[in-house]
Amino acid sequence: MVDAQETSVAPILSAHRVSKSFGEIPVLFSIDFDVRPGEVHAIIGENGAGKSTLIKILSGIEQPTSGSIAFDGQTVELPPDGKAEAMGIVLIHQELNLAEHLTVADSIFLGRELKRFGFLDTGEMRRRARAVMETLHVSVDPDARINTLSVADKQMVEIAKAISRDARVLIMDEPTAVLSVSETQTLFEQIKRLTARGVAVVFISHKLDEIMELANRVTVLRDGQLIATVGTQALTPDSIAQMMVGRELSNLYPPKHEPNVDAPVVLRVRNLDAATVKNISFDLRKGEILGFAGLIGSGRTAVAEAVVGLAQKSAGEVTLNGEPVNFTRVAQSVDAGVAYMTKDRKGKGLLLNMGLRPNLTLLTLKNHLRAGFLDTSSEDRALERAVRRFDIRARDASVAVGRLSGGNQQKLMLGKTMESDPDIIIMDEPTRGIDVGTKQQIYHIIAALAAEGKAVIVISSELQEVIGLSHRVVVMRTGRIAGVLEGAEITEEEIMRYAAGIKQSGHDERISA
Amino acid sequence: MSVSAPDIAAKPARGFRPDLKTIGPLVALALLILLGITLNENFLSYNNITNVLARSSFIGIIAIGATFVITSGGLDLSVGSMAAVIAGVMIMVMNWLIPSFGIGWSVILAGMAAGILIGGAAGIGNGLMITRGRIEAFIVTLGTMGIFRSLVTFLADGGTLSLNFQVADVYRPVYYDGLLGIPYPILVFALVAIGGEIVMRRTSFGRHCAAIGSNEQVARYSSINVDNVRLITYILQGILVGVAVLLYVPRLGSASSTTGVLWELEAIAAVIIGGTTLKGGYGRVWGTVVGVVILGLIGNILNLQSFISPYLNGAFQGVIIILAVLLQRGGRRD
């Protein structure tokens, strides 16, 4: 990384005292940030720290509430809706923004198609697409349809698109979250090639080792505040982690209540096969919190959905309190006392256009019937109870839940799940995208449920969360269980070894431990 | 962490906003009535009002069914043609049964039963293709719209199917008579509307319709049997078309290839004017009733005055529909 560290190089894109609020909720407080040509500047912070908002402001998708953005030394107002691309600022979203039915060449030239005599010059576009892919050393056919590509290849197409647009600033939101180790290395080589050509790269990642390898400077955000911007060589993974969290982790998680090793197994899964998972076996005991760790796409959600009947099982058996069960619809699992709380609260969990009450009782409407008709006062009482128990804060009960903060939405969804009074609760990413205070509340609720004798499965991509909560941890990798950890084995390093495939438990001998 | 639960009501609401979405249709209705009174002193007369409402009741009953279909995110374009087929078959069944049952109510009751059954069966057909066949509701009902329309033309052999005039005489009071001065069609419309409002507001089925229309995935994850609820909305729609036709047949005593033309659009328009969202997730039956009456009054007012040609009826209805959707959008901020 040549001269990037020298302050003599003027920043190409910078933010000065940028703040942002959504409605009344402030998410960024007076952030200063800049990136220089040829530099990789990483942004790191916990979920909800404001990373995504910052890069949205840097790419013009969101406008800052106050503060200014300068590009090439000039104060500018970046045009919204990705039009900043024309200026050379390209954002690559985490959930890649490609039209699935177009070809690779179509995608690369989308919105600025090459034309000859007013008609599309498909030959030339294909030729240039191939040339761009060659400079990236990627072998993707320009005529292939996007929906036939792997995630890593799609990402390469996005990068090719950015290069063909002469991107001067490339902003990437967790590009490695869905990549394997070797795919990540390919991506890093591309990024290094780009910075060698003077492109400035802004890069969000949760993975400290990646940041140490790739970035020149690191900016740490916490709860919307700028904590520090420092050169990577001055850092160790430990010091970054400390800056990210900024508090004693032990306070965040409730004390672990030791589960009774003789407690009965309430849920037993044996050799379960479903669409993307194979040979899944595990036990869940009464009063236990069982963590499910693994990379995104490792099949944790698929296991949960197959167990509760949201997805089809192709083989294997599930026993509940010793009785074999085969749920084919959610209603059956709910009746049997097994509830699944989705990670996708906006897409699958809550009706965003409706108020709190219909959302809370949707799963359990039949508990609120009187002579066949809905008893809204009974629903109101349920809402009152849930508001008190889960500390849900809303202006009033009729406000559309889409306008609640993520934390309140999550607590409402938790309330909805708990309305069915389950004995076994499967929570998928229970704290995704919510603030630290709410996280802590949810952790305490989870611990209290287990102490009460409920059995809880927590699926989470945040290692700290899995470690802080779980009595045992199942680590999944590419649709299979890679290992089951307990006690002192539950460490970040150990989980990552299994999740990344460096280590693999030989057999299932420890599963029912 | 120090915040207690009662906070939910602690923050004051930020000013009162008259909700256009809620009262918009009522305001429009009030304006139309005012306009009607100014234009013609006979507007509020018993005859005029019962006439408008009785004519609107067919569309009204169908539109109440459409409210459920649309609220759950569906669409039924076939209702107009379905009405024509039901009318045609009812007439054929009644004419065919006269030799065995004689002239009288038994024939008419048999015809009515046939009408409801055919409506329900057509709804099952539409619903199964949409839910089990996984075909877009628009495509399925566009298809059955064509099938039903051509079927009635075929049954009528390109002409008109007429009910035996003696039976028609017995049947006629169902449209023209009433109870306590209120014509039967209006009474049935009112009953269906009240029933519909209760079902929408106070039953799990109504709640499930709104949930499915709002987000099908959320509904599925909330243990709602999405396919069954959808299927029921189409069956309900079919049965209500049957009910509407029971009241329509005694009016003219005939059915032809032009029976029920464009009823589907009038029904959908009434639903939308009433404030139900076209893409589903929110529906209200009383709004649909207001929508139907608004559409009926526009035609009536145009007929009662002499400045504007009544042939522009469709244009005015069109403007009202577009305005209604525009107001709905203004009523919601995001």
Question: Is A342 inside a domain boundary?
Answer: no
Name the percent of chain A lying above pLDDT 70. Answer: 93
Residues A253, A221, single domain; the answer is no
What pLDDT was estimated at residue A245? Answer: 66
Question: Is A5 inside a domain boundary?
Answer: no
Number of C-beta neighbours around residue A198 at 10 A: 15
Residue to test with chain A: of B21, B22, B71, B218, most A Cβ within 10 A: B218
Lowest-confidence segment of A115-129, A186-200, B8-22, B286-300 by average pLDDT: B8-22
Task: Tell me the per-residue pLDDT of B299-331, one tens digit each, with 9 for 90 and over.
Answer: 888 888 778 888 888 888 888 888 877 776 654
Distance CA A425, CA A427 (A): 6
Rounded mean pLDDT of A10-35?
87
- Domain span at residue A278? 247-337+422-513
Q: Domain ends where: A246, A266, A293?
A: A246
pLDDT at A330 over 70: yes
Report whether B267 contacts B81 (CB < 8 A): no
Q: How many residues are given for chain B?
A: 334
Residue to test with chain B: of A312, A353, A417, A436, most B Cβ within 10 A: A353
Rounded mean pLDDT of A397-418?
89
Q: Which CATH number does the domain housing residue B107 bear?
A: 1.10.3470.10
Gap from A272 CA to chain B (nearest CA, Å): 21
Question: Is A7 inside a domain boundary?
Answer: no
Name the percent of chain A lying above pLDDT 90. Answer: 37
What pLDDT was estimated at residue A248? Answer: 52
Q: Give the pLDDT band (50/70/90) at residue A5.
A: very low
Residues of B in contact with A397 (CB under 8 A): 8
Residues A399, A431, single domain; the answer is no
Q: How many domains does chain B have?
A: 1
C-alpha closest to that of B218 among A249, A409, A408:
A409
Minimum Cα–Cα distance from B281: chain A residue: A353
**A329 part of contact set with chain B, CB < 8 Å:** yes
Question: Is B311 inside a domain boundary?
Answer: no
Lowest-confidence segment of A79-83, A401-405, A483-487, B299-303 by average pLDDT: A79-83
Could you say which of A334, A373, A396 has the minimum Cβ distance to residue B203? A373
- Domain span at residue B289? 44-305
What pLDDT was estimated at residue A7? Answer: 55
Residues of A in contact with B5 (CB under 8 A): 387-388, 391
CB contact under 8 A, A331 and B208: no
Report whether A143 contacts A104 (CB < 8 A): yes
pLDDT at A440 over 60: yes
Could you say which of A310, A330, A394 has the minimum Cβ distance to residue B8? A394
Could you say which of B203, B208, B221 has the minimum Cβ distance to residue A348? B221
What pLDDT was estimated at residue A2? Answer: 43
Residues A127, A61, single domain; the answer is yes
Question: Is A126 inside a domain boundary?
Answer: yes
Question: Is A3 inside a domain boundary?
Answer: no
Minimum Cα–Cα distance from B213: chain A residue: A351
Question: Is B321 inside a domain boundary?
Answer: no
Residues A290, A430, single domain; the answer is yes
Question: Is B289 inside a domain boundary?
Answer: yes
Gap from B4 CA to chain A (nearest CA, Å): 7
Rounded mean pLDDT of A248-276?
81
Region for residue A224 given its phi and psi (left: phi exceeds 0; alpha: psi -120 to 50; beta: otherwise): left
Residues A399, A443, single domain; the answer is no
Residues A187, A95, single domain; the answer is yes
**A374 part of contact set with chain B, CB < 8 Å:** yes
Residues A179, A37, single domain; the answer is yes
Q: How many domains does chain A have?
A: 3
Give the residue with greater pLDDT, A6 vs A454.
Answer: A454
Residue to test with chain A: of B14, B222, B279, B282, most A Cβ within 10 A: B222
Question: How far is CA A298 from each of CA A45, A151, A289, A292, B42, rounded to the nearest angstrom?
Answer: 23, 14, 20, 10, 74
Question: Is A4 inside a domain boundary?
Answer: no
Q: Which helix (H) or strand (E) holds A282?
A: strand A277-285
CB contact under 8 A, B221 and A393: no
What pLDDT was estimated at residue A233? Answer: 84
What pLDDT was estimated at residue A251? Answer: 65
Distance CA B90, CA B111 (A): 5
Residues of B in contact with A416 (CB under 8 A): 222
Instruction: Give the CA dihedral B301, B302, B304, B306, nearest 10 degrees.
Output: 140
What pLDDT was estimated at residue A216? Answer: 92
CB contact under 8 A, B219 and A362: yes
Residues A78, A205, single domain; the answer is yes
Question: Is B90 inside a domain boundary?
Answer: yes
What pLDDT was estimated at residue B330? Answer: 56
**A440 part of contact set with chain B, CB < 8 Å:** yes
Q: Give the pLDDT band (50/70/90) at residue A508.
A: very low
Residue to test with chain B: of A368, A395, A444, most B Cβ within 10 A: A395
CB contact under 8 A, A330 and B220: yes
Rounded mean pLDDT of A122-138?
84
Residues A236, A195, single domain; the answer is yes
Residues of B in contact with A392 (CB under 8 A): 8
Residues A431, A442, single domain; the answer is yes
CB contact under 8 A, A366 and B222: no
Question: Is B324 inside a domain boundary?
Answer: no
Residues A155, A287, single domain; the answer is no
pLDDT at A296 over 80: no
Task: Tell me the per-residue pLDDT of B236-257, one tens digit each, with 9 for 90 and over.
Answer: 999 999 999 999 999 989 999 9
Q: Which CATH number does the domain housing residue A278 bear?
A: 3.40.50.300
Question: Is B322 inside a domain boundary?
Answer: no
Gap from B222 CA to chain A (nearest CA, Å): 5
Q: Is ipTM strictly over 0.90?
A: no
Residues A143, A201, single domain; the answer is yes
Lowest-confidence segment of A137-141, A340-344, B286-290 by average pLDDT: A137-141
DSSP A395-422: S-TTS-GGGS-HHHHHHHHHHHHHHT--
Question: Is A229 inside a domain boundary?
Answer: yes
Q: Domain ends where: A387, A421, A455?
A: A421
pLDDT < 70: residue spans in chain B: 1-21, 328-334
Sign of CA dihedral A170, A174, A176, A179: negative
Q: Give the pLDDT band (50/70/90) at residue A116.
A: confident
DSSP3 helix / strand / coil % (chain B, rounded to 5): 75, 5, 25
**A350 part of contact set with chain B, CB < 8 Å:** yes
CB contact under 8 A, B217 and A347: yes
Question: Is B33 inside a domain boundary?
Answer: no
Question: Is A218 inside a domain boundary?
Answer: yes
Residues of A in contact with B219 (CB under 8 A): 362
Q: Domain ends where: A221, A246, A271?
A: A246
